Amino acid sequence: MEEENKNTINNQVSEPEPEKVRLDPLEEKIAKLEKEKEEYLNGWKRAKADYLNMQKDEAKRMQEMIKFANQELIKELLPVLDSLELSLMATKDPEAKKGIEVIYSQLENILNKQGLQKMKAFGEKFDPARHEAMMQEESDKESGTILEEMVSGWILNGKVIRPAKVKISK
């Protein structure tokens, strides 16, 4: 019996070694799975960040599109404003002039609410991005100074949609 107990004890002592051998592949598998988990988690985090960035970019693009969606309509209305302005200068009748001023003011206010701003060009330095030189004239002013605004220039939400046609000094 003592021998049996020794064998049992020896068996118990020798049994952990096979379990340890079995644990090594399990530990390797766990390490491999942990590594895969980290890769998948990092990939998911990158994909989520990319998606959020794409959403922000799309929102910006939509805002820009909304800002300039009515640009063509506004450009077509600019000659109407020009005609009203010419009518104001040509009309001598005070009653008619007052009516034209009201209509001009209403139309200009509507367009201003849409982001349209009239450019101020007189007395400024000529800028080819904002002005179109129609004439040059000798003057005592510095060369390139705008002497006269022949046709008004307009800016829509910070973007020049029609440059001012001007006379500059040479």
> Domain segments of the chain: what residues?
2-68, 70-114, 117-170
3-state secondary structure of 129: coil
Task: Give 117-170's CATH code, choosing from 3.40.50.720, 3.40.190.10, 1.10.260.40, 2.30.22.10.
Answer: 2.30.22.10
Q: What is the pTM of this model?
A: 0.62
Max intra-chain CA distance, the chain: 135
| Phi–psi pair at 136, nearest 5 degrees | -125, 145
101 has pLDDT over 80: yes
pLDDT for 21-72, tens place per residue? 566 888 888 999 999 999 999 999 999 999 999 999 999 999 888 888 888 8
Helix 16-68 to helix 2-14 angle (10° resolution) is 20
